[in-house]
Structure 1
Amino acid sequence: PTAKVVQIDLDYRTVGKNRDIDLGIVGDAGLVLSAVAQAASGRVENSAARRKEWLDELRNVETQAYEKRLPRQLSGAQPIDPYRLVHEINEFLTEDSIYIGDGGDIVTFSGQVVQPKSPGHWMDPGPLGTLGVGMAFAMAAKQARRDKEVLCLFGDGAFSLTGWDFETMVRFDLPFIGVIGNNSSMNQIRYGQAAKYGQDRARVGNTLGDIRYGEFAKLLGGYGEEVRDPAEIRPALERARESGKPSLINVWVDPEVYAPGTMNQTMYK
């Protein structure tokens, strides 16, 4: 809360627009940070020791966060806690698994838990990126690296934007494991609306249907399952892997649970 915030942007009109900042710099981020690094080099005595102290502090914070959320990662609750879903995905990934995240709230959960086992094996839209890129990312990743397993976690809102391209994956025989964290809403937007306008108006423009995307996958010639019991997540993932087809495992997660990142972002909107 006490950290000083510096914003670097090419466009002066966006500096300080989204939230209060302590310092605004107009310029290319790469050039500015290069100049900062050059200016700071050699100026701090015992920099290695200070850096170790900082890293130890960060690791301690991360360890505390892990211990706090671990009971939820192992939760047997129904509807399924999103932390349990992303925990199962993390345990399922191998050294050859390319992980793709496409969504808002559900991918925010995964950012805390999912750790791809090899460098360069994580893809997502990025901060303030475009939802719906998951199918295109999965298609491109599998086409480029046929030897790799591709697993894509979608929010149901994100999947609904470009999900028909699942048929393209079937047609071109591009097997991948698709997982949908289905809470029947655009939950990141829903939380922001509830916080700003109240629960009675939180359903406007963000509530979606209870779509059985596992059946959708079968309709298009792929493999699909519906999962409501957290104990069935891992077996369903294994069956999808063994099917050798484009797949969708539709996991019904609790719509009343929000990622901490979702709640923090709303403070600045």
Structure 2
Amino acid sequence: MKGSRALLKMLEDRGVGTIFGYPGGTVIPIYNEMLDSSIRHVLVRHEQCAAHMADGYSRASGKTGVCLATSGPGTTNLVTGVGTAFADSVPMMVLTGQVATGNLGMGAFQEVDAFSLMMPVTKYNYRVLDLDLLPGVISEGWKVTRLGRPGPVHVDLPVDAMNSQIDESLLTRTREPRPVQIDTSGIPTAIRWIKEAKRPIILAGGGIIGSDSSEDMVRLAERIGAGVLTPLMGMGSIPYDHPLAMGALGMHGRRSALSAMKEADLIIAAGTKFSDRTYSPHTRPGNGSRVIHIDLDSTEFNKHGLTSVNIKADVGDVLRTFLCNLEGFTPDPAWMMRLNSFKSKCCCDFDYDGVPIKPQKVMHEINKLIDDDTIVTTDVGQNQMWAMHCLNIKRPRQMISSGGFGTMGFGLPSAIGAKAACPDKKVLTVTGDGGLLMVVQELATAIQEDLPVTICLMNNGWLGMVRQWQKLFWSKRYSATKLYDSNPDFVKLAEAFGANGIRIERSSEIGDALKRSMNSGETCLIDIHIDPEEDVLPMLPPDPAIPMVKGRCPY
């Protein structure tokens, strides 16, 4: 069997139904076999977006996403998207073409050292110089994407290997990755600390969603009376309207979450990494606080400077162990009342009318339409923080966003990937004019591949988040952030790609436009002109010497 056919056969056998990619010289053998494969190929318009679509596909479905690009610039274009998935622990198999083995290191056309290039942004790298090793590579690499802390695995495929023949009997050959070493020795101490705590909270990160442990986490919170704080990546791990849900914690998070964090005497950090956007001198609790940190990646431990016990294990397994050892536990009613007071005070009405349109009003209208069959993706910047702060997310995998890497341009392609994974769900992306212009060509992908999404464009004519920092911390010296005098007519641009376009300049028009678009079954861009002076507040400044910028927040 030809190597290119063998590759696709092994992916088919592992349940791969979709590959996001862009063809080129060294992957033509693979694309030739794709015509006879059961795998659907989604043709992107830029390789970075192939990775973002595979990422969105994975986050929406829980499956391993697959992307494919040719050698040289095709591979370098993938790197940003692969890095995005790596930062957020998303399982992905990244396939790249490579020049023939005899030309490696010779400066051949479109040659790049993909192996070294991908090393910082993947869990593991393979270069298949001997085709007979390909079955073991796919077998092991596929498992590595989900083993321990999930993430991307890269396989570099020289074109001569793909054109060579392999004995079909070798395709079932397997290779096992090295098992992840776990350390649960801290569990007895952790259980004792939980029993001693008077003011526990759970910091529920993306690891809760990635391990499908949301139900166990909520059960633990209910049993011990812990408020649940969600960094960006943990949104949806607990329904927003649950009495113990304190909301998002971070630079642009909820005051209820901040209050609970500051008063906690025990933090159960589950699948989260204490990033600088979540944990800072502004959010640090008192020195008497303890941390129980559960994670499969020990490099995330001890970043907080508090007394801690670390448990290196699957977060779901540990939560279930806690539950078994806390039967009959009675929460402290005083802390439950305190949490309720935080939540009741942090209950803003975002239904602002008037012109120019306030971004909170857009989120208010989106909230009316979010149901169990809705997925929301975001871009990066102010639009992302408005979504994190304001949207009512009820279930895991309902909100998809670039966290650790903060990749502008993520919104639209991740939405297309989510739609490919969940074709029966309505998919909406919240984006800004800066981020959308980085990837707007993917409207062609959405149209050609019949993957309809709604694009909620928060158009303020600026690179809004950078402008906000320049406004608040750099004496309003606005450098290289103005877009309004050169932005295209986004409605005409959408129509040029074959999508629908709607321009919104009055708040009364937002709800109907969103509803019509999301129910239309067609790709639609809603160009909403919002107030550029409305900052994402409250905000915890990066300098701990500067107090919180409250803005409209009445808390």
Aligned partners of 2:356, 2:542: CA distance in 1, in Å? 24
Matches within 5 A, 1:1-269: 27-29=298-300, 33-34=310-311, 48-50=330-332, 53-66=334-347, 69-70=348-349, 73-199=350-476, 201=477, 203-209=478-484, 211=487, 212-260=489-537, 263-267=539-543
Could you tell me whether the CA contact under 8 Å between 1:224 and 1:240 is conserved in 2? no
Aligned equivalents of 2:391, 2:358: Cα separation in 1: 15
Match of 2:132 in 1: none
Secondary structure of the structure 1 residue equivalent to 2:429: strand
The question of whether the paired residues in 2 share the 8 Å contact of 1:101 and 1:153 is answered with: yes
Unaligned residue ranges in structure 2 (runs of 5+): 1-257, 270-274, 303-308, 547-555
CA distance in 1, matches of 2:394, 2:330: 28
Equivalents in 2 of 1:155, 1:53: separation in Å? Answer: 43
Q: 1:53 to 1:176 in 2, by over 3 A?
A: farther
Q: 1:159 to 1:27 in 2, by over 3 A?
A: same
Once residues 532 and 474 of structure 2 are traced to their aligned partners in structure 1, the CA distance between those partners, rounded to angstroms, is 18
Bigger relative contact order (CA 8 A; separation at least 6): 1
Following the alignment from structure 1 to structure 2, what is the Cα–Cα distance between the partners of residues 168 and 3? 49
Q: Which moved more, 1:178-187 or 1:104-113?
A: 104-113
Quote the offset at 1:266 in angstroms. Answer: 4.4
1:11 alignment counterpart? none
Q: Distance in 2 between matches of 1:186 and 1:244?
A: 31
For residues 218 and 259 of structure 1, the distance between their equivalents in structure 2, rounded to whole angstroms, comes to: 31
CA distance in 2, matches of 1:254, 1:266: 24
- Over 3 Å counting, the alpha-carbon distance change for 1:110 and 1:54 in structure 2 is farther
Distance in 2 between the 1:148 and 1:250 partners?
22
- Distance change >3 Å, CA 144–CA 19, structure 1 → 2: closer
Identical aligned residues as a percent: 24
Q: Give how far 1:195 is off.
A: 2.5
Report deviation, 1:53.
4.1
Residue deviations 1:18-73, cap 9 Å, x none?
966879x99523696427x99xx8xx9x97423x544543332232121xx31xx1
CA deviations 1:128-166 (Å, max 9, x no partner) are: 521211122111111111111101110222212112111
Deviation at 1:85, TM superposition (A): 0.5
Q: Give me the whole-angstrom Cα distance separating, in 1, the residues matched to 2:367 and 2:438.
A: 25
CA-based RMSD: 3.6
Aligned-partner residue type, residue 58 of structure 1: L
Matched to 1:99, the amino acid is V
TM-score (norm 2): 0.40
Using the alignment, how far apart are the partners of 1:237 and 1:78 within structure 2? 18
Structure 1: segments with no counterpart, 5+ residues: 9-13
Distance in 2 between the 1:59 and 1:104 partners? 31
**2: CA distance between counterparts of 1:220 and 1:74?**
33
